Amino acid sequence: MGFAREYSEPRLSQRMVSRPVVRIVGLSPDATMVYVVDAVVVEDDTYLILGADPVPRETHDPPQELLKRARASIQPAPGTLVVREGKPQRFHAIVHELDHEPSWRAEWVARALREALQEAERRELRRIAVPLLGGVHGSVAPDRFANLLTEALAGSTFEHLDEVWLTLPSEAAAAVAARLRGAGIEVREEGRT
């Protein structure tokens, strides 16, 4: 006569799901910050002008051909993401429509934030850097951004993404950190003990 011992083995299909830690880096206007991330979110517009790569690329195409291709290209919709490969990858968050006044909308920022977090998770990235999205070329207030980020984090599940690095103007860092902590998000402020 034998007996069966009951125990639960972890299943391979069950994975740890957690919320990433938010690291806040308060940047002064003249600061140079070096950190290692897998992707950088860049605030951009539907024409991909605001987030253009600052390094000029050499081309041998005639100007007429470049203009023809630019006019024929499909513009990304506000609230979406355009991913550019590289190290780190660049996630162009389309939060501006330059033909509108103001050029940004809070719902575009919210959608782009969710898209960036979900894309990082799909790509199994560990760390991404996010600016004060909508506040780099727009006027999204830091507390409004903190609320949008809180909603984006709460509305997603994470298996791979460990850290979201917020690169904020130093005067906004403490307020954003307090708002996120108040929502129950683990926050670490870089450069502070």
- Mind listing the pLDDT tens digit for each residue in 107-140? 999 999 999 999 999 999 999 999 999 999 999 9
Q: What pTM was computed for the model? A: 0.80
Q: Find the distance separating the first CA and the last CA of the chain, reported in whole Å.
A: 61
The tens digit of pLDDT for each residue in 47-73 reads 888 887 666 667 788 888 866 776 666
Report the pLDDT value the prediction gives residue 2, as an integer from 0 to 100. Answer: 45
**Residue owning tokens 């968050």:** 93
67-71, 92-96, 186-190 — most confident range: 92-96
The domain locations on the chain are 21-51+61-189
> Any idea which architecture 21-51+61-189 has in CATH?
3-Layer(aba) Sandwich (3.40)
- Region 153-176: mean pLDDT is 92
